[in-house]
Structure 1
């Protein structure tokens, strides 16, 4: 049930994704199916199913080599860098897996516009020109106007501005686009509607359908690009990874000028975590399989590797399939310039500075890119 003032658009994309996922039985595929897929130049949805299947696991080295070939063909040796800035951690949702859960007793905080500028200055001094602005999902604490002011301010320091906030209506995305936002990142978390309901107990985020159509509303609003993702570890990762890729594919077909990206975080420890809530653990090999499948299925798409992952894993996947990496990350509210004003959303595994990430990229024979966009 949509909340009041939640926009409903005329699209059947959700039904398409759910129907395709419902028909996905990843246990039916064989080694022969994988070999046939690896011999193809252009992949279709059936090939995606095969690449995400257990049968593909024994071919991971071959899949990785082909993924690296596609990455170099479309992105060269470039690895883009960015950092997130949390400007508020107030939230109105009750999500069982998140430290920002509105029922959690944590230190909440919100940056003033003056504090946001201090953070922007500190981040820009590292050389970064790509910023991701994040908030907890609270319209009350973090209004669209407040986020818009932060975006306008970011234009003084950065050439590319992404936002990861609560889903908006088309006119609101259009307003933030006019303020200077380029990209919208929204995690569906899981595409299993039953599981989604179990995980999202209350708040606007409990409306599965409204969240699903966030990227399409952003596209209609004129955003340059969108990023999709699930939280690996909440449900069956093969089906969730499949749903995400199909969602991205259908968006690309419908909006061919839209730049598509994938974000691929795994569930990490968080404040007030209950260990029994993570029965769907995803290991690094499985995550790598999904990353390579994304690259082969949608070779032009950006793939971001999160600081939730350990440094060694991140170093291995850049240049193979990932094209974008975060650096100098703080998941608390603020913390780049002064002491943090609010608790972190989750623990990170890779706390390296921007300079340390840059050195690693160069040591691998790759080229660190601070911006690939010129703002006109």
Structure 2
């Protein structure tokens, strides 16, 4: 099945939908925005309409609607994580990536388990509670077992400052039995990017290695979900092809997963091409995405799939990251390094791509909190089994906020007490007080109780 063409990505249908919805009248745009405000999602024609917005007034209405939907569902929470690169070995030849197999300008590194443990200790010492484990698409002599061993190492590290409570994974597409092993290893979310859904472009930028097989990659989330992984992450690399096409193709992929499994992706990532060592295409994207269009992409996804998390990485500058919080972003990386061993010894030349935001975790948290957003290190849903369809059953009627808001505040308080600088403590404690004051009912009762438990010296409390 998984070597046959993925007919759920229908390029002809995508172009027809774009053509049929070019130059929409303001009335049509407002009709779509009114539908989006109901937080039941949008169809492909609706999404195509939103991709055509260029008028400043209409853009303002799009952004305001996205902000309303984001805050209604997620409140002021922003979940934080860090990528953990364990290897930059790769057997693929992806023209946009520094890890590609023929690139001789980077130092190839495979972290032994003891070095991974040191990296994890460094991240824990900064205050992180969740990591995204990343590896190039080739492994040392242990093969895929290297990834499984690395996950175990991350979970096994315990320090006086705590431990990593959730490991998400971004590795090469796997066979179904390997996905089962990944599930048994206790991962949170399995994340994979198609890079581009446009088949011709895909073949042009993937010049060698197993990644040349478009179908094997695009069917990966089917295999993962059939293997029991109900939280999956999806994404494309914006700049390789027309962003309108990529958005609608991703909507087709999401619709396919929802139809087959009853639930779509847990997260969507929206990376743009950034410079990478010895890669001309990375520095000169064939379809560059402007800052205003990038903000539009975030807002459209928030309205199209309102209950799906949107991830913003440190590829983007601090300024751009701030601007997207209000448009739909719900998760951000912070203090990131993209080379193996980078938390112990940074080597940006050997990283996967250039970073736009180089700030340390504490500085990012202080900035986020000063904007009124609550930095969350919560991992309760994963540990309580609120994943996949169970999560959506709580999210869509709004019940998940009775858990998320209190847990965000208690995990933030834990960070402030154990890791934060004096400046961040001052900003953070005021935000917690103000946030609880603005709450009511059961959510407020839970928040007060959990924060008091943390203040009394108890870590890792959640509901």
Deviations along 1:332-362, one digit per CA (max 9) or x if unpaired, are 1112134559811110000111111111111
User: What is residue 63 of structure 1 aligned with on the other side?
Assistant: 62
Gaps of 5+ in 1: 1-7
SS of residue paired to 1:232: coil
CA distance in 2, matches of 1:17, 1:262: 20
SS of residue paired to 1:60: helix
Deviations along 1:213-238, one digit per CA (max 9) or x if unpaired, are 11121111111311111111111111
SS of residue paired to 1:92: coil
CA distance in 2, matches of 1:202, 1:345: 18
CA distance in 1, matches of 2:154, 2:72: 32
* Contact in 1 for aligned 2:6/2:215 (Cα 8 Å): no
User: What is residue 135 of structure 1 aligned with on the other side?
Assistant: 135
SS of residue paired to 2:277: coil
Report the alpha carbon displacement of residue 153 of structure 1 after superposing the two structures with TM.
2.1
* Contact in 1 for aligned 2:6/2:218 (Cα 8 Å): no
CA distance in 2, matches of 1:234, 1:47: 24
Farther-moved stretch of structure 1 (45-54 vs 92-101): 45-54
Partner of residue 348 from structure 1, selected from 342, 347, 355 = 355
SS of residue paired to 1:172: helix
* Contact in 2 for aligned 1:248/1:260 (Cα 8 Å): no
1:287-366 pair list within 5 angstroms: 287-338=294-345, 343-366=350-373
State how many pairs are aligned.
369
Gaps of 5+ in 2: 157-162, 385-463
1:130-209 pair list within 5 angstroms: 130-140=130-140, 143-156=143-156, 157-209=163-215
Report the alpha carbon displacement of residue 124 of structure 1 after superposing the two structures with TM.
1.3
Is the counterpart of residue 222 in structure 1 residue 228 in structure 2? yes
CA distance in 2, matches of 1:102, 1:194: 22
User: What is residue 108 of structure 1 aligned with on the other side?
Assistant: 108
User: What is residue 17 of structure 2 aligned with on the other side?
Assistant: 24
CA distance in 1, matches of 2:305, 2:72: 13
Report the alpha carbon displacement of residue 141 of structure 1 after superposing the two structures with TM.
5.8
Partner of residue 375 from structure 1, selected from 369, 376, 383 = 383
* Contact in 1 for aligned 2:315/2:355 (Cα 8 Å): yes
Report the alpha carbon displacement of residue 142 of structure 1 after superposing the two structures with TM.
7.0
* Contact in 2 for aligned 1:34/1:55 (Cα 8 Å): no
SS of residue paired to 1:25: helix
Report the alpha carbon displacement of residue 250 of structure 1 after superposing the two structures with TM.
2.5
CA distance in 2, matches of 1:132, 1:182: 9
Deviations along 1:79-101, one digit per CA (max 9) or x if unpaired, are 00000011000110111111111
SS of residue paired to 1:79: strand
Deviations along 1:42-81, one digit per CA (max 9) or x if unpaired, are 4222211111224576512111111111111211111000
Partner of residue 279 from structure 1, selected from 274, 283, 286 = 286
Report the alpha carbon displacement of residue 22 of structure 1 after superposing the two structures with TM.
3.9
CA RMSD of aligned residues (A): 2.2
* Contact in 2 for aligned 1:311/1:350 (Cα 8 Å): yes
CA distance in 2, matches of 1:120, 1:25: 46
Deviations along 1:276-334, one digit per CA (max 9) or x if unpaired, are 85221111111111111100010000000111111011012114310000001001111
Report the alpha carbon displacement of residue 30 of structure 1 after superposing the two structures with TM.
1.0
CA distance in 1, matches of 2:244, 2:29: 15
1:37-76 pair list within 5 angstroms: 37-40=32-35, 41=38, 42=40, 43-54=42-53, 58-76=57-75
TM (norm. structure 2) is: 0.75
Q: Indicate the structure with greater helix content.
A: 2
CA distance in 1, matches of 2:302, 2:139: 35
Farther-moved stretch of structure 1 (152-161 vs 352-361): 152-161
The higher-RCO structure (CA 8 Å, 6+ apart) is 1
CA distance in 1, matches of 2:269, 2:28: 27
* Contact in 2 for aligned 1:67/1:320 (Cα 8 Å): yes
